[in-house]
Homo-oligomer: A and B are copies of this chain.
Amino acid sequence: MNEHDAAPLEPAFPDAPAWFAGLRDRICTAFEKLEDALSGTNADQPAGRFTRKAWEREGGGGGTMAVMKGRVFEKVGVNVSTVWGTFSEKFRAEIPGAAEDGRFWAAGISLVAHMHSPLVPAVHMNTRHIATPGRTWFGGGADLNPPIPDQRDTDDFHAALKACCERHACADHEKFRAWADDYFYIKHRERARGVGGIFYDYIAADETSLAFTRDVGETFLSVYPELVARHMDRPWDAEQRKAQLAYRGLYAEFNLVYDRGTRFGLMTGGNPEAVLMSLPPVAEWP
């Protein structure tokens, strides 16, 4: 069956894209507030603002990139997309419920922030709703990526996600945290990409998993800006910046070699500019 002789799939929750877009708006507002609040290094620069760019996908759907290159956020992207069509023959074997009939519908929000200060952790958050003929699910996660880890940040980030999971019957924090440790691992370097978080995928789409997925977004919004505010005005030195740039090299390796979202995007004809917006503004392999 090819792209043109099959009706598009109907998702379990057609309102999910609107919710993702609303979350995107609130996150952008919160991040712009942090830009305004800076009093440390770079405070002589203008506060950053997001700019948006829509893109269309040949074969169905598209998305909007929101990018800010600011004075706190060196490069942050908050992308939403809703795409549908038919997986390639080669790719469909990797996707639950798509072996026989390769049609899909997918919507999500994806965020990666790379910070000017090496003392402010970088971060990633993504949630998504996917439907194939055989299955419909939610997936997502968030992980903290400090170039120079800070135990209090790590503890607070995990505590927030643990509390989030405990609010939802479909979520198992211990399992999702271990899944993140396993997923966000740079095998060839034999090291973790960051200090972890949660990762979950293929959680059957129902009211419970929808509520959990929303809460992951809310939890991110409640905890990450606080960590930024905690550190953004602290001075940093050249050696710390150097450590950050080398750390970003590893981050780029993970995203290009292993990341499932990057692979999904590149294999389904997503806009490469949007798919690869997760890559750091500058990275070093010293």
B-contacting residues of A (Cβ < 8 Å)? Answer: 75, 187-189, 245, 249, 252-253, 256-257, 266, 272, 275-276, 279-286
Say yes or no: A252 contacts B256, CB within 8 Å: yes
- Inter-chain CA distance A281–B286, complex, in Å, is 5
CB distance from A142 to the nearest CB of B (A): 21
Nearest chain B residue, comparing its CB with the CB of A190 = B272
Cross-chain contact of A245 among B252, B282, B286 (Cβ < 8 A): B282
Measured between beta carbons, the chain B residues less than 8 angstroms from A256 are 252-253, 256-257
Evaluate whether A285 and B279 lie within 8 angstroms (CB atoms) in the complex, with A252-B256, A256-B252, A256-B257 already known: yes
- Inter-chain CA distance A216–B166, complex, in Å, is 62
Measured between beta carbons, the chain B residues less than 8 angstroms from A252 are 252, 256, 283, 285
Say yes or no: A281 contacts B276, CB within 8 Å: no
Nearest chain B residue, comparing its CB with the CB of A265 = B188
Measured between beta carbons, the chain B residues less than 8 angstroms from A281 are 284-286
CB distance from A258 to the nearest CB of B (A): 10
Listed from nearest, the 10 A-B pairs whose CB atoms lie closest are A256-B256, A279-B285, A188-B272, A188-B266, A282-B284, A256-B257, A189-B272, A283-B283, A253-B256, A281-B285
Count of chain copies: 2
Say yes or no: A253 contacts B282, CB within 8 Å: no
CB distance from A73 to the nearest CB of B (A): 14
Nearest chain B residue, comparing its CB with the CB of A253 = B256
- Inter-chain CA distance A78–B178, complex, in Å, is 39
Measured between beta carbons, the chain B residues less than 8 angstroms from A283 are 252, 282-285
Measured between beta carbons, the chain B residues less than 8 angstroms from A285 are 75, 252, 276, 279-283
Nearest chain B residue, comparing its CB with the CB of A254 = B256
Measured between beta carbons, the chain B residues less than 8 angstroms from A249 are 279
- Inter-chain CA distance A249–B248, complex, in Å, is 12
- Inter-chain CA distance A188–B255, complex, in Å, is 14
CB distance from A278 to the nearest CB of B (A): 9
Say yes or no: B286 contacts A188, CB within 8 Å: no
- Inter-chain CA distance A256–B187, complex, in Å, is 13
Nearest chain B residue, comparing its CB with the CB of A257 = B256
- Inter-chain CA distance A279–B282, complex, in Å, is 13
**17 A-B residue contacts at CB 8 Å?**
A75-B285, A188-B266, A245-B282, A249-B279, A252-B252, A252-B256, A252-B283, A253-B276, A279-B285, A280-B285, A281-B284, A281-B285, A281-B286, A282-B284, A283-B283, A283-B284, A283-B285
- Inter-chain CA distance A245–B284, complex, in Å, is 11
CB distance from A245 to the nearest CB of B (A): 7
- Inter-chain CA distance A45–B118, complex, in Å, is 29
